[in-house]
Structures are given as C-alpha cells and as structure tokens.
Structure 1
Amino acid sequence: MKKICITIVSIAVVLILFEFKAIAQGEKFFDVIDEINYGEECLQTWQIGEAATVVSNLLSVAPENPYVRFFAGEVRFYEGNYQEALSFLKDALQEPEIAQRGRAFYDLVDKIYQTTSKFKEIKTEHFLFRYNEDKDAILADYALETLEKAYHAIGNDLGYFPKEPILVEVFPDAESFCAISTLTKEEIETSGTVAICLFNRVIITSPRLQPRGYQWLDTLTHEYVHYVIMKKTYNRVPIWLHEGIAKYEEERWFEGVSPKLPVSLESLLAEAVEKDYFITFRQMHPSLAKLKKKEDTALAFAEVFTVIDYLFNRGGYPLLTTILDSIKEGKSTEDAILSAIGVPFDEFEKNWLQDLKQKKFRRVHGIQVLPTRLKESSSLVDDIESVAEIEVKDARRFAILGDLLRREGLHSAAIVEYEKAFRKANNISPQIQNKLAMSYIMDTQYTKAEEILKVALEYYPEYSTTYISLGELYQRKGEYDAAVKILSQANSINPFNPIIHKNLASLYNKLKRKGDAEIELKRLMLVTK
C-alpha cells in the first residue's frame, strides 16, 4: 500500500479572525474591517490572488493599521513569502489584542521559516519547487517532470489548470513537517501521513526519511489533485470526495496506467465486507489523519477510491467535473450528486455500499499496512534492520540464521532457512521474500527468484528493495532493458539508494547509452557525497 497522503480542509489555527473595535476611527475603519473580512474569506476559499489584491488595496489606504498588517502577514505566508510575512506579523503584534490572539500564528510561521530559509527554489512553467539542496537535490528533476505531467493530465481530467505558479515544498525532517502540517508525530505515524496539501501549497516529506523511501511521485500527484480541487471549488468539497478523487488520480502522471486498488487495500475491503466494518463519511471528517489506527486510515482510502470508481463508471470524468462545478457554484455535495446522477444522496450512498459488498475483492491473509517512521537513516537497509521488521518471531529466527549462512556464501543452506522463515510468515513478508529470492539468484535458480519477487511486488509495490532484487536478476540473465525499466521504477520510490544509480550506470554502459550512464553517475555522486 502506498504511504498515505492527507489533505486537511480547514484548520482553526490558520486564520485568525478578530472582532475589530471601531473606537474614534470613523466610517473609514469599518471599510477596512469589511475588506479584511472579505480577504479572510478569500484565504479560506483558496483564492489567494484575490486576497493579495485586497492586501494591496488595504496597504495603500491604511499601511500602519495593525489589523491590516496582520492580514498582510497571513497573505504573504500563503504566498510562500515567509520573511515578509514575519515582518508584517511582527509589526502587528505590537497591538496588545493582536499579540494575545495572534502570537501562535506568528510562532508557527517563524518555526517554518527556520527550515524554509535554507531552501533552494527552482521555477518551471507551472511550479515553484523548494527543497534542501544539501540533502534533497536529487529529487528536483524527478519531481518537476512528474508535476508537469500531472498538471496536464489532471487538468484535462478535472477541467482546471491553475494559472498562478504552484508552490511545492519538500520538508527535510519530521520536526519541520509536524510544524507545517499541524499534525503530531503520533498522528503522522498512526495514519501513515507523509504529505499534505495546506496553506496554498503542496507539502511532502523527503523519501529520505523512510528506510526504503515511499511512492513519493504518486504522492506528489495525489496532493496536486487536492490543490486543483481546492482551487476549482473554493475549498467546498468534503474530505471523502477530496480523498477519493485524489486517490483515484494519483497515478495519472504515469502514462498508460489505469486507476486500480493495490492488493493490500483490496484485501482490507474484502475483510471489511466479511466483517461488515466500514469507516463512515462522517468518521472521515475532518481528516483521515485523525483516525486512530493506520488500518482504519487505509480502509478509508480504499472505500473512497471505490466511491469515485462507482461514480466514474456512471459518467466518467464529465460526471466528476459536473459534481465539482455544482459544488463550486454553491450547491451542497448532496444536491450536487442528486443533480448529477438523479439519486438522493442517502440512496446513492446505500447503492454504492451495496455495489461494494457485491464485488469479489481478493482477500490475502497476513498482508499488512507497512509502518511509517519519519526519521533520517542510512540509504541502505542492512540485514539486522530488515530482520527486525519481520513480525513473526519464529520466522525472524530462521531469517537470522539464513542471513548468517548467506554471508558465508552458503546459499543453498541459506535457502533452506529462508524457506522455513517464509512458511512461518505465511508466505507474506517482503523482507523474507527478498532474502529468499536473492539466495535463489546467487544459486542461479532464476525462475524461482522471479516468481517470488513478482508476488512480493504485487503485494507490496512500495517496497523498493524488490525492484532492486529484480534488477539484479534481469541483469544476471542478460535482460538489460528489463533491468533498466525495473530499476527506473525504484527511483520513483527511493532515489537515495546508491545501488540503484550504480547499477543503472552499469546497465546503460552495456546498452551503449553513454549519456544516460553519465547522468546516473552524477546522481550517484549526489547521494553518496
């Protein structure tokens, strides 16, 4: 299952609406109040350009007014101009009432600025991409190519192309991501949240913070879909519809891929149908990140994916855009769906659930939602770390013995122990699957290795080690093009693994693709410096 990415539609700490006092200010002050209130509404509805126009007008009329300056600080923050935001906010805090009620927002912006002030920015036709150059430089080319593809694909699907540059920021550590996401570390790790669309920007964590990365290019696209929905509908879409469309569209940057549930989510749905246990739309509000168990969050994503699939099968993208356009025009979600499909919302929800229960979802006993742990670690996961991830105690014991034998070059003996571990883990453990497959490869049992790795890839497509193992297999078989293809997919999960770039460089040289080999060697230098 992909690492989870979340949008929080509204957070109370963001917009601070003051009850203004018009003492000896005259009629003109009431005009200022009206403008600020209108500007705040623009921020809440993600019409940042309009809010910026309001600020410009207010600063020309009342540049020293502390309420105007506080609002200006809010707008500059939403525009991504942290330094100017802090300057306005600091001035505004001289007013005691603002200081009392606005200090928390100032502290939030200041904390985020401590990280973002070190960012490098790259501008393309449609995006402003910011990242820590010392740690995350390798991400830029991959990210911008993906984002530009997503811009056109999602725009065509949902009928909306943002005109202003879209700010995308990669946060380099757990502390800074907690600050800007306004989520606690516990909420992040419980829900599996690694990205968020908030404050008029797309925010992701660096894949460097996961031992094997995560499907971060899909995640970028997922969050960009949220951005489009926010802008298109004035931030009026409920979370279930938001997340459903984003989940449905997250692979649209990759040409030729049709929306499909991963096996892990399909298995969760099969179990939910069996137990008649579902996450309701009401429980999903205000954010899937607030659910108490990562399995519940994953199940919620699976459910809303099927909702969109249900709607799509009844009218494709025109139906989805009709619903979004109706919401933008002021209709409730319930009325928008009624108008689009001619069925009251309660009946629509009942029909979808009935359709869901009739589907033959595949149940895979033992498949798991892999944990999220945001912390910087080595780019390579060693045997000790991978064994520690194996949850079944007896399987872990056999895997340890297998590792010892494999390091001594006793591959046939290692296979015996890994096969024991494999059986104890009910044949479902990406760690054991890769250990066993690599021993098969070293023992030249290529057919067995490929079979087990393809199953591992089907069950855990986010587990980057499997792509590397398959790349090794294809390279040994002389299937260099296949090896390049599978290793290139690994980059969309963990571009920080030097083995990927080293092996790609070698493969490109064998294929006489000298230019591509040089690019991979440069990338290798970036991740090993």
Structure 2
Amino acid sequence: MFTSRLPFTFGWLALLVPVTLLLSLGPVGTESLHAASFDETYQLFLAGKYDEAQAVAAAEVERGVWNRRWPELLIECMLVRGQYAEALVQYDAALQRFPTSLSLRLLGIEAVRYNNLPDRAGQEVARFQQVLQSGQLQFASRDTLIAAGRFLAMRDLDARKILELFYDRVRESNPTFLDAYLATAELAINKGDFGVAAETLNQAKRDHAGDPRVHYWTAKAFESSDSKATAEALMKALEINPKHTPSLILQADMLIDREQYESAEEVIDEVLAINPSHPEAIALQAVLAHLSGDYEAEKKLRDKAMEAWPQNPEVDHLIGRKLSQKYRFAEGADYQRSALLLDPDHVGASFQLAQDLLRLGEDDIGWKLAEDVSTQDEYNVVAYNLMTLRDRIKGFTELSADGILIRMEPREAAIYGDAVMELLKQARQVLCDKYDVQPDKTIVVEIFPEQSDFAIRTFGLPGGQGFLGVCFGRVITANSPASQGARPANWQSVLWHEFCHVVTLEKTKNRMPRWLSEGISVYEERLRDPSWGQSMSAGYRRMILGDDLTKVSELSGAFLSPPSGMHLQFAYYESSLVVEYLVEQYGMDALLQILDSLATGVPINDALAMSVGSIDKLDVQFAEYAQQKAREFAPQADWSVEDYPEKPSEESLQDWLKEHPNSYAAHRDLASLLTAKGQMEAARVHLEKLVELGAVSSEEDGPLEMLAAIHRKLGDQAAEIDALNKISAISSDALPTHRRLIELGRDAEDWQSVREHADAALAIQPLAEDLHQANIDASLAMGEPENALPSLEALRNMEPVDPAGLDYQMAKTHAEIGDVQQAQRFVLMALDRAPRYRDAHRLLLDLATTKQETARQETAETNSDAGGESELGKTQSGETQSGETQSDETEKDEPTEQTK
C-alpha cells in the first residue's frame, strides 16, 4: 500500500542529461504552442474561476492539443472541486500520451488516492520512482525537477539534498520560475525553518505578487511568529482568489484558535461549496464538534473526511494538532496514534505525538519519539532544537516532594530550589483544596536560565519573548530571573499563576477557554498577594471606558491577535475582572459549577448560561461592572482630554490646569517636563497632587516612581521612604524600590524593614548576593539566626570571594541556634580552606567545650534519674561518656575528601 516506504537513492541523477544544459533549453517542442491561451486560462484558475478554467482546459484536451499542461490543468481543476472520479479518468487518458511526465504522475497519485485505490496508489508511487531511476528520461525540464523534488519531500527524504539537487538548480537557471520558490518555501515550512521560507517568498513576490499561493505560503511562514503579518498575507491571498481553498482552510484554522467558532463554520462552508468532500474542511468540522462536546458528531465527521481516501493520515493528524492547540493533549495524542497506524512513517504525526507526550509529562516516551524524528529527519529544525535542549536538561537538578517534580539548573536549584518547592507545595494545598482537585499524576515544573531554552521547550523554536511561564496541564515551563534582565518579574507570582492553571485545567480536563483560565490565575494571584497579578491603572481605566473593552464572549480572541503588548496585558486584566465579577455576583460555587460543566464537554456559553445566565446578558452586565470599577479609580481626578494640547508645553499645560485643576494628563505631563528641566520642587507639586487624587498605580516609571526619585534628589528622606513604601505595597516586581528601602533601612538600623524588603526582593531576584547578605545581616541583628541560614547557604553556591569566611559565618550561625554538630562541620570546612584561620580555631575550641558541657549535663541528668549512685560513680561515668562522645564526634567531624 502507499504508506509503505520504498528504498530510494539519489544516484539516478547521474543518468540524466546535465541539468543546467537541459534547463537552458526551456519547455520542449509543442509545449510552447497556445502559450498565451494557456497562461490566460491558468490565470482564471489562480483567480478562483475554476468552472471557466476547467471548461477551457477540457476543450483543449478534447481538441487533442499535444501539450501536457492542458490535461494537468484539467485534472487540477477537478481535484480542487472534489471531482475525484473524473480526475482519475482524465489522468488515465493523459498518461497514455505523456507517460514520462512526472508533474502529471504527481497529480495522478493524488487522484488515485482519493478514489480509494490503495493497491494502485502503491503502484503509482513505485512507477514514479522507476521513472526517476530508469534513466529513460529524455530531458529534465524545470517542471520535472520540481515534481521530482516534491515527490521526494512527500517521502520525507533528505531535505537538503532535495534543495540542492532540484529546487536550487531550477532557481539558479530560471530565477523567475515561481514553482521553485513555492516548493522551497513549502519544504522549509514543513521542516520548521520559517526564516528560509520567508526569505524565499519575499524573493518570489518581486515577479509574482499577483499569485495567491505566494501570499498563502507567506501567511504560513509567519503563522507562529507574527500574527499581523499572517493576517495581512492571508487577506491578500483571498483578495486575489476568494476561493483559494488552502487560504480558506488556514483562515478557518485561525478562527478556531480565536474561538470564533461560528465564523469558522462559515468559512468551512465556503470550502465545502467548492469541494463537498474536502478532507481538511470536514476534519475542522470534527474539531468544532469535539470542542462543542458533540463527540458522536465528531466521530461521524472524522469518518466522512476519510471516505474518499480511508488511508489518509492527514485527517487524524490535523484533528489531533488542533485539539492539542486547545490543550487537549491526551485527545490529540490519540489522534496522532491513529494517524501513525495509517502511516507509521508520518514524521509530522510522530513529532506532534512526541510534543503531546512531553506536555503530558510522559517524558521517557516523548523524548524517545522526538529523538527518532530528529534522526529520521535531520533537517527538522524543531526536532533538532528539542534534542539540543534535552542534552542540557539532562544536567538539571531534580527536586521532588508531594507529587511535584522540579527541574532546575544545578546552581539555581542550590540557591533557591527549596524556596520554589515550598511555594509550589503551598499552592498545591491552597488551590487544590479551593477548587476540589487532587491531581493523580506528578506535576512537572521546569525553570530555564536561558530564555531561548524556555522558548524551545515551550514552543519548539526560539522566540516567545514576553512569556514568563506556560502551563500545559501537568507540565509548567518558566523563565528564571536570570533570563529576564535587570528588572525580572516576581518568580513567586509567576509560579502561583501557572500552578493555578494546573488546577483549573485538571478540573476541566483541559476543556476551558483561554480567557477563563487566565482570568482565574490572575484573580488568584491578587487574592494571594494584593501586589501580585494586575490592578486598575490610568491606562486600563482609559481602555475600559473607551473602545477597548472586549465582550466576554470574545475574550479568547483578545489573547491571540492583540493590537499591542498593552492590549495583551489588558486582556489578562479584563479576564480577571470577569472572574471577580462572577464570584462577587454569583459566588464561588457558581464558578466551580461552570468548571465542572466544562469538564463534561459543555461549551463555555452553555456552561455560563447554566450557572449565571445567557452570555449576551453577561456581556452587558460585566461591561457595566468593569466601567464602574474604572470610574472608582481616582474619582476626583479630571480625566477629560477633549481639546487637550496636541504638543504640550509648560505654558499650555499651566493654562489647561487653570480650567482643569485636577487633570491627570496635565499634572503628569507637566511633572515630566519640569523634571527634564531640573525643576524638581515644581515637579514634585504636580506628582503629589496625583497621589492626593489616588491616580497612581504600580506601573514602571509611573508617578510614584518619579516622585520617589525627586524626593531622593531633594534630600527629603522621609518623603522618599513614604513614596517607596507605597510602590512596594502595590508592585510585585519593583526591585529597585526594594533595594533602595534596604539601603535606607541599613542607614537607620531599621532591621525589620531591611529584612522585609530583602524577602520581597528575593521573590523577584533570588540570584543577587547583596539581597541575601541584607537578609543575613537583618536576621542576625534581630537575633533570629535561623532566618539567615537559607541566604548563607545560597551565598555558598554563588562563588563567594571568601569561601572560608562564609563557612565560618555558617558555623557561627549554627552555633547560635544550638546546632553544635552542624557548627563543627562548617568550622572544619573553614579550617580546611584556611588552616590558620584563628577565629575558626577559637570557635572550634568553644564548640568542643560546649559539647563536653552538654555531655556532662546529660550524664548528670541520667544519673539523677537513676538515683543512689555514688559521687565517684557519677564522675567516672560522666568522664567515660564524655570521652566516648568526644571521640565519636571527632571521628565524625574529621574533614573527609568528600567534604573538601
């Protein structure tokens, strides 16, 4: 059957006439006849006028014109329209006249498949290879080479050789031949090399901007990286050909991603009006049926998509891929397994299955499958990236407790791995109890110090800037603070957010819209810590009361194609407000009921209707709630901007304030202008007015941060501290603020403040030595040495300048909390590094004395409990026990090579 792989080599190419010579000859003989007529007809085909193009092509074939391009175009028209039986008849007839045409035979393979003739399909594939290897080809035209390359690409043969021996040769000899560019781009996209595809298509646009295929493949090239470029290219393709079925399928695909299911159905209907049997269109209908919870319809549609070609692996591969994009990884994996039963060598299905399993936490099988794909398909960029990453992950440290497995780079694990585990254990207890969820499998958390590694593990390719963490269900991937520059996000907030996804996805069996999932996570962040998550700001107020508030029914789309980064952040905030509204108005039980309904496959709108009313009603009521929240933010401030100066100057703003004394915009803009001029006192007045009005938030470089900086420059330390404390209370990642408060706390010997802000700063950047030292100093000054130990241990893993001194400090701290054994261990390590360390020698003697005293007291207590023992017996017993204890402990504490 077709799916069996046949042996093939590239040695046959030597049997051909030199390619460069043959390509220079151009089309042979009568293929040049009626060229203008054919070109005009083909333009009809490219414009989607399939009926007209088919009629002209049929007439030319009937007329007996000796030109293989006419029957090929006729077959292509029939295949596009789903006339599979007619296409096969035409293929058989054309094959009698053009038996060596590889472009014809490539169309014939498709026609045979869709007539459900598996045996003949295998024969056609074998015959194609025989023609390639026979050496009977009279010439190697450009069409022949492109058809041969596409055939070999279908067989997943070496992509680099296909490029070198076929596509590149054609492009070198025929720089304007479009098919060479399209074939190159298609191959690159299928292998995950989107950069090569985009560059190739950009070259093709110079001469072929009017061909819809160029724009379709451009959309595919940018699909994973630039949604705006994808949308523009897709729009251009459909503008040229409104019936271009690949573009319509991609459009429906993207609409499903945005949860615009009704619109997706409409586009699918357009495809089915062209070809009622289109397998991809029907497969997408099956996806929609699954997402609506109609699993019986899903099965029927899947079977319908397979009717014409029952061995088609692409149907199951497509359905599974779309379900995985909806986080239905288990269901997606099942579909990929079905695809592999039909074609065990289907690289796309194998690799998608590998990714599904990795996201389900089934690492052993997932990595093995990815390795097999990488070995089988060396040009697969995504597989190569994953294999490279796997080798690095093998060196990670693993921490495991309470059903949680953490993987971290060894140094980072030593520094703050225990803190990560403690936070996740708290999240598991709090959130699992609240949402009545008990995960039955291990939850895997991987934290990457390199952003590119995080992106490859998460998305398969470098990129994904702006993502802090991603949850796939039972697998969380996150960027460590080391990958985020000078002002990283609060890692505790990020992990709490992602663990909440674990809980809600587990509860709904991954069947929830993105807006609800994100909304609950941001909402739970705020409940855990008011400075976490997101809160109302001047920008959000403007968006809510303007035109940027998205309907609840359309919120998921706001995450997929936001006009700006600000709009994406607003989508998170708005979603959390929806959850807040649902809980306030209907109670937590209603939210749990919605999640339970989703778990059974009930669509979100129906789940909402069952618990809180219709989605239309919710859209209206939530809009009123959000607008009220926005109006409550700094209600005394004047937010009007009508007739506001287009290019604000100090004079124009002062005039504006005369009419609008509480104007937010004028006070802020004037403060910025005055600060730039160095007029700090004057700028402070305007910023303090904004604070008085309550028009401040946690935004970076916002009014509060500006005000704190001005107070500092003016030397008003009390006012500076007040401003900084306001920032720290509402911002989760204000690292510079905490550092400044630590500095001020040290100067005032306010050790309580130093430790509080050191703790807060370490929740943002746990890899900073100065923050750990601040925590140590504060804890020791407050007489709480046990709180200094985690930071002391962290510093030991940061390549300290004075490791012996740090070991000595560890020993002293353990001694202060009465842990003599650990104190001896660390003081011996200090002496091992610096044998003449006098303070360490003194401490060691003190520890020995302490142990002796402790031993005598224990002996005395034991003898006292026994009663009646003579004074001599007590002394002898005490000396003996003390001597034994000292001897044993000395042997234990002797520094070994391993300790060194």
Structure 1-normalised TM-score?
0.70
- Identify which of 249, 266, 274 aligns with 2:537: 266
1:80-119 correspondence runs (5 A): 80=361, 84-91=365-372, 103=380, 106-119=383-396
* Cα distance change on mapping 1:394 and 1:84 into 2, 3 Å: farther
Contact between 2:705 and 2:724, CA under 8 Å: does it hold in 1?
Answer: no
The answer for the alignment partner of 1:308 in structure 2 is: 579
Contact between 2:321 and 2:332, CA under 8 Å: does it hold in 1?
Answer: yes
CA drift of 1:50 comes to: 9.0
Deviation digits for residues 139-169 of structure 1 (CA, Å, limit 9, x no counterpart) = 3122111111111111122221212111111
* Cα distance change on mapping 1:430 and 1:174 into 2, 3 Å: farther
The answer for the alignment partner of 1:206 in structure 2 is: 480
Residue 770 of structure 2 aligns to a residue in which SS?
helix
The answer for the alignment partner of 2:780 in structure 1 is: 509
Please give the alpha-carbon distance, in whole angstroms, between the structure 2 residues aligned to 1:259 and 1:452: 15
**Equivalent pairs, count:** 446
Please give the alpha-carbon distance, in whole angstroms, between the structure 1 residues aligned to 2:360 and 2:684: 52
Residue 602 of structure 2 aligns to a residue in which SS?
coil
Partner AA of 1:87 in structure 2: K
* Cα distance change on mapping 1:357 and 1:49 into 2, 3 Å: closer
Contact between 2:357 and 2:366, CA under 8 Å: does it hold in 1?
Answer: yes
The answer for the alignment partner of 2:434 in structure 1 is: 157
The answer for the alignment partner of 1:224 in structure 2 is: 499
User: Is 1:234 aligned with 2:509?
Assistant: yes
User: Is 1:180 aligned with 2:468?
Assistant: no
CA drift of 1:325 comes to: 0.5
Structure 2-normalised TM-score?
0.43
Partner AA of 1:473 in structure 2: L
Residue 510 of structure 2 aligns to a residue in which SS?
coil
Contact between 1:45 and 1:234, CA under 8 Å: does it hold in 2?
Answer: no
Please give the alpha-carbon distance, in whole angstroms, between the structure 1 residues aligned to 2:514 and 2:332: 24
1:36-435 correspondence runs (5 A): 66=345, 73-74=354-355, 76-80=357-361, 84-91=365-372, 103=380, 106-135=383-412, 137-182=414-459, 188=465, 192-198=466-472, 200-208=474-482, 209-251=484-526, 254=528, 257=529, 262-263=534-535, 265-281=536-552, 284-285=555-556, 288=559, 290-341=561-612, 343-359=613-629, 360-362=631-633, 395=675, 398=678, 428=702, 432-433=706-707, 435=709
Deviation digits for residues 408-430 of structure 1 (CA, Å, limit 9, x no counterpart) = xxxxxxxxx76577679898456
Partner AA of 1:132 in structure 2: E
Residue 277 of structure 1 aligns to a residue in which SS?
coil
CA drift of 1:221 comes to: 1.0
User: Percent identity between the aligned chains?
Assistant: 18
Deviation digits for residues 390-443 of structure 1 (CA, Å, limit 9, x no counterpart) = x96874675xxxxxxxxxxxxxxxxxx765776798984566555455567xx6
The answer for the alignment partner of 2:153 in structure 1 is: none
Please give the alpha-carbon distance, in whole angstroms, between the structure 2 residues aligned to 1:329 and 1:286: 23
Please give the alpha-carbon distance, in whole angstroms, between the structure 2 residues aligned to 1:449 and 1:214: 24
The answer for the alignment partner of 2:743 in structure 1 is: 472
Please give the alpha-carbon distance, in whole angstroms, between the structure 1 residues aligned to 2:318 and 2:571: 35
Contact between 1:394 and 1:424, CA under 8 Å: does it hold in 2?
Answer: no
Which has the larger helix fraction? 2
Contact between 1:422 and 1:429, CA under 8 Å: does it hold in 2?
Answer: no
Please give the alpha-carbon distance, in whole angstroms, between the structure 1 residues aligned to 2:727 and 2:596: 41
Residue 405 of structure 2 aligns to a residue in which SS?
strand
* Cα distance change on mapping 1:300 and 1:51 into 2, 3 Å: closer
Contact between 1:433 and 1:452, CA under 8 Å: does it hold in 2?
Answer: yes
User: Is 1:463 aligned with 2:744?
Assistant: no
CA drift of 1:333 comes to: 0.6
Deviation digits for residues 462-497 of structure 1 (CA, Å, limit 9, x no counterpart) = 211212322333444444234322321221111122
Contact between 2:489 and 2:732, CA under 8 Å: does it hold in 1?
Answer: no
Please give the alpha-carbon distance, in whole angstroms, between the structure 1 residues aligned to 2:786 and 2:533: 37
Partner AA of 1:216 in structure 2: W
Please give the alpha-carbon distance, in whole angstroms, between the structure 1 residues aligned to 2:672 and 2:717: 27
Please give the alpha-carbon distance, in whole angstroms, between the structure 1 residues aligned to 2:621 and 2:331: 40
Deviation digits for residues 7-30 of structure 1 (CA, Å, limit 9, x no counterpart) = x9x989xxxx9xxxxxxxxxxx99
Contact between 2:432 and 2:438, CA under 8 Å: does it hold in 1?
Answer: yes
CA drift of 1:202 comes to: 0.9
CA drift of 1:449 comes to: 2.7
Please give the alpha-carbon distance, in whole angstroms, between the structure 2 residues aligned to 1:338 and 1:199: 26
Please give the alpha-carbon distance, in whole angstroms, between the structure 2 residues aligned to 1:438 and 1:183: 46
Please give the alpha-carbon distance, in whole angstroms, between the structure 1 residues aligned to 2:710 and 2:413: 33
Please give the alpha-carbon distance, in whole angstroms, between the structure 2 residues aligned to 1:394 and 1:115: 51
Please give the alpha-carbon distance, in whole angstroms, between the structure 2 residues aligned to 1:49 and 1:170: 24
* Cα distance change on mapping 1:496 and 1:289 into 2, 3 Å: farther
Contact between 2:704 and 2:723, CA under 8 Å: does it hold in 1?
Answer: no
Please give the alpha-carbon distance, in whole angstroms, between the structure 2 residues aligned to 1:117 and 1:140: 17
| Segment drifting more, 318-327 vs 295-304 | 295-304
* Cα distance change on mapping 1:112 and 1:279 into 2, 3 Å: farther
CA drift of 1:198 comes to: 3.1
Residue 211 of structure 1 aligns to a residue in which SS?
coil
Please give the alpha-carbon distance, in whole angstroms, between the structure 1 residues aligned to 2:726 and 2:600: 47
CA drift of 1:262 comes to: 4.6
Partner AA of 1:214 in structure 2: A
* Cα distance change on mapping 1:138 and 1:316 into 2, 3 Å: farther
Deviation digits for residues 171-228 of structure 1 (CA, Å, limit 9, x no counterpart) = 211222232333987762xxx4211113741111111223132111111111111222
Please give the alpha-carbon distance, in whole angstroms, between the structure 1 residues aligned to 2:367 and 2:551: 40
Partner AA of 1:310 in structure 2: Y
Point out where structure 1 has 5 or more consecutive residues left out of the alignment. Answer: 1-7, 18-28, 367-390, 399-416
CA drift of 1:130 comes to: 0.8
Please give the alpha-carbon distance, in whole angstroms, between the structure 2 residues aligned to 1:438 and 1:524: 31
Partner AA of 2:384 in structure 1: D
Partner AA of 1:356 in structure 2: A
Point out where structure 2 has 5 or more consecutive residues left out of the alignment. Answer: 1-253, 259-282, 284-309, 640-670, 691-701, 801-900
Contact between 1:279 and 1:299, CA under 8 Å: does it hold in 2?
Answer: no
- Identify which of 515, 525, 528 aligns with 2:796: 525
Contact between 2:530 and 2:730, CA under 8 Å: does it hold in 1?
Answer: no
Residue 168 of structure 1 aligns to a residue in which SS?
strand
CA drift of 1:93 comes to: 7.2
Residue 138 of structure 1 aligns to a residue in which SS?
helix
The answer for the alignment partner of 2:261 in structure 1 is: none
* Cα distance change on mapping 1:43 and 1:182 into 2, 3 Å: closer
Contact between 1:233 and 1:328, CA under 8 Å: does it hold in 2?
Answer: yes
